A = this chain, B = another copy of it.
Amino acid sequence: MRDDRRLRRRTETVQEILDTAIEVMAEEGVAALSMAEVARRVGVRPPSLYQYFQSKMAIYDRLFERGMRESVGILEPYRAGLAEDPRAAITAGQQAAIAWAMANPVLAQLLYWRPVPGFEPTPQAFEPAVRQLELLRAALQAAVHAGQLAPAAAGDEGVDLYTALMSGVISQQLANEPSAQVEEGRFTRLTQTAVDMFFRFYAPEEGESVDSDLCPGRAPAAD
């Protein structure tokens, strides 16, 4: 294999740089990432980093993408549960997502805020976000289908309201008690309640739907 060794070593270095960058940001602040400090910790001179990343923004971009992938990956195990009890699956998935955010505050800030002047994620880094939104919509749709939510919940407004609600929980927690654990966080503790509030608001009308797979009445109309 021609470049196998080199390539492997290169990707190792790339990962080491990214990990170190997260470390530095955790200590100094997300917007205070310093190429010089990363270089120092990696054991190299600052210009050498530019062999691996075109600029500091490229590091932010890769980390944004990593954060997106990880946070959407967290939800994967809960997809199966959507068939059975969507509400339970959504609740559990939401708990997991918020736990991830608290365990990875640096990435969470990158995803939920806009802390770095001049940084905007490239479309390719943003791509997992699109999938995540689709996943949420599908989940809400499943709940609608199961008669746990009114149809409007899976519409644009419902999805936006849901994301606003949950990003609010994360945001407040990050801003006010950044280093708290999930269980004890003043805001993250509210996750369950927040989900309940959403479901209550979009409770299906009396006698509405319940049209599970067999019922010819109304289709999922995913979108």
Contact = CB atoms under 8 A, between A and B. Distances in A.
Identical chains bound together, number: 2
B31 A161 contact: no
Given A171-B168, A200-B201, A113 B113 contact: yes
A157 B201 contact: no
A61 B140 CA distance: 42
Nearest to A187: B164
B168 A169 contact: yes
Interface in A52-98: none
B164 A169 contact: yes
A91 to B, nearest CB: 15
Given A114-B174, A115-B115, 6 more contacts: A28-B117, A160-B186, A167-B168, A168-B168, A197-B200, A197-B201
Interface of A: 28-32, 109, 112-118, 157, 160-161, 163-169, 171-172, 174-175, 178, 186-187, 190, 193-194, 196-198, 200-201
